[in-house]
Amino acid sequence: MINWNIILSIAKTHLVTKLRQTLVATLGVTFGIGSYITLVSFMTGLNAMLDDLILNQTPHIHIYNEIEPSKDQPVSIYDDFASHLNFVRSIKPKISQKKIHNALPIIDYLEKDKDVLGALPQVVTQIFYIAGSIELGGNLTGINPLEESKYFNLEDYIIEGSAETLENTDNGIILGIGIAKKMALNVGDRIQISPISGDFFPLKIVGFYQSGISDLDAIQSFTNISTVQRILGEANNYITDINVKLKDLEKALPMSQLIEQQFGLKAVDIKTANAQFDTGTDIRNLITYAVSITLLIVAGFGIYNILNMLIYEKMNDIAILKATGFSGKDVQLIFMSQAMIIGILGGLLGLLIGFGLASFIGTIPFETEALPTVDTYPIHLQPSYFIIGFSFAMVSTFLAGYLPSRKAKKIDPVTIIRGQ
């Protein structure tokens, strides 16, 4: 039978009379847990931000018409030559259209799929920006501005103007900030656009676009699909790309394979396109956990040390407790509960300090040209971090308390009393 009242009251007395050591041990745990929470929320915040930078704008599946040489040359299809060894040198892709054939029915079909959030058409084309005597090469993408905002957060990257003004302005353009700087243009100015085929089209600048990737900002602009179609002199079924956003990112790969098979188009899923980002995220998480676990192990050794010393100091007390009828297990529980009290107090305090510190970091201004959507350091607080942190504290203090307390359990009172 275990009498917790008396065990806890002895444990409490030990902790209170050795207040300084108790505080040092507790603060060790607090420091470990606090830095874990701060570190993990900062690191994941950073991860999320970097992922957003690329992945938010990236479609889950990007469908387009790849220009590539045919895999099967006529000679290899012809049966009479099947037993011969054929060489065809200098294979060239055959002339084909850039547009997706039957794009509008495909979009309708995709949007009916229950896994698809949205399938947005785009017209991507190479153009020249002309202002006065300057001519710059670039990309002009025709989009549905409102839907792009809804599914691919376009609005986040428009630093002046809005998607709505583009939607409502015929012959409007949202210009990449790099181009605007090079050409000294402001919102409301006009810019001449020239497609590769020639001709000039004046467009009105309704906004600026900044993705944070300066190479992209120096070439990329957006306008309405119908405007691009008009510039290219194509009909309104001229669609070069379809961007699909799914409900579940994990389904991107199987679905892209299905689309390639079904429509004979090129379909690239987000994971294939951005494989290196996953690796980066994994490594940053690994570093976070390695550092946190190291801190907690250090804190655990602190507790181990302090309890060990306490047990040496309390040899006489342990002997007298055992002589008056406390069992070895009672004595072990006295020291275990001291470790656990230190762990619980230190852990809770650590969670609070971690929360405070993380929230504080979240208010520090962090402004950079490359990241227009961010104005303070990114912090990602999640309940699971607090649960993991507290469990860490419990496990490490348990282990740190277990070893010394087992020694206390085994102390032979006769040896101590006779040794006096």
- Answer for the pair 281, 305: CB distance below 8 angstroms, yes or no: no
Please give the residues from 322 up to 381 whose contact with another protein meets the rule CB under 8 A.
Answer: 322-330
Query: Tokens standing for 194?
Result: 């020239």
The answer to whether 417 contacts another protein (rule: CB under 8 A) is yes
Complex with another protein: residue 323 or 387, whichever CB lies closer: 323
The answer to whether 13 contacts another protein (rule: CB under 8 A) is yes
Complex with another protein: residue 208 or 326, whichever CB lies closer: 326
The answer to whether 222 contacts another protein (rule: CB under 8 A) is no
- Select the span of 112-120, 241-249, 363-371, 409-417 touching another protein (CB under 8 A): 409-417
Q: Is 174 exposed, middle or buried (0-12, 13-18, 19+ CB in 10 A)?
A: buried
- Provide, rounded to whole angstroms, the least separation between the CB of residue 23 and another protein: 17
Beta strand 172-176 with 190-195 is unpaired
- Interface mask (CB under 8 A) for another protein, residues 308-327, using x and -? --------xx-xxxxxxxxx
The answer to whether 126 contacts another protein (rule: CB under 8 A) is no
Sequence-ordered list of residues with C-beta below 8 angstroms from that of 306, at least 6 positions apart, any chain: 21, 22, 24, 25
Sole binder of another protein in the list 283, 309, 403, 414 (CB under 8 A): 414
In 3D, which of 47, 39, 26 has the Cα closest to residue 355? 39
Complex with another protein: residue 296 or 310, whichever CB lies closer: 310
Please give the residues from 22 up to 81 whose contact with another protein meets the rule CB under 8 A.
Answer: none
C-alpha R_g of the chain: 34
> Rounded to whole angstroms, what are the CA distances from 91 to 18, 65, 72, 179, 403?
84, 19, 11, 38, 74
The answer to whether 4 contacts another protein (rule: CB under 8 A) is no
- Provide, rounded to whole angstroms, the least separation between the CB of residue 1 and another protein: 7
Sequence-ordered list of residues with C-beta below 8 angstroms from that of 96, at least 6 positions apart, any chain: 65, 67
Complex with another protein: residue 245 or 322, whichever CB lies closer: 322
The answer to whether 153 contacts another protein (rule: CB under 8 A) is no
Q: Is 118 left (phi over 0), alpha (psi -120 to 50) or beta?
A: beta
Complex with another protein: residue 313 or 375, whichever CB lies closer: 313
| Other Cβ atoms within 10 Å of 13 Cβ, number | 11
- Provide, rounded to whole angstroms, the least separation between the CB of residue 353 and another protein: 30
The answer to whether 420 contacts another protein (rule: CB under 8 A) is yes
- Provide, rounded to whole angstroms, the least separation between the CB of residue 346 and another protein: 22
Q: In whole angstroms, give the CA distance from residue 185 to residue 191.
A: 8
The answer to whether 184 contacts another protein (rule: CB under 8 A) is no
| Other Cβ atoms within 10 Å of 279 Cβ, number | 10
Complex with another protein: residue 1 or 82, whichever CB lies closer: 1
- Select the span of 159-167, 271-279, 366-374, 412-420 touching another protein (CB under 8 A): 412-420
Question: What single-letter amino acid sits at 30?
Answer: T
- Answer for the pair 120, 241: CB distance below 8 angstroms, yes or no: no
Sequence-ordered list of residues with C-beta below 8 angstroms from that of 253, at least 6 positions apart, any chain: 269, 271, 272
Give 113's DSSP letter: S
- Provide, rounded to whole angstroms, the least separation between the CB of residue 286 and another protein: 46
- Provide, rounded to whole angstroms, the least separation between the CB of residue 39 and another protein: 39
- Provide, rounded to whole angstroms, the least separation between the CB of residue 5 and another protein: 7
- Answer for the pair 169, 206: CB distance below 8 angstroms, yes or no: yes
- Provide, rounded to whole angstroms, the least separation between the CB of residue 417 and another protein: 6
- Provide, rounded to whole angstroms, the least separation between the CB of residue 312 and another protein: 15
Q: In whole angstroms, give the CA distance from residue 229 to residue 227.
A: 5
Task: Provide the sign of the torsion angle of the four alpha carbons 402, 404, 408, 411, taken in this order.
Answer: positive
Number of residues that bind another protein (CB under 8 A): 28
Question: What single-letter amino acid sits at 53?
Answer: L
- Provide, rounded to whole angstroms, the least separation between the CB of residue 7 and another protein: 9
The answer to whether 1 contacts another protein (rule: CB under 8 A) is yes
Name the residues that contact another protein, by CB under 8 A: 1, 3, 5-6, 10, 13-14, 17, 316-317, 319-330, 412-414, 417-418, 420
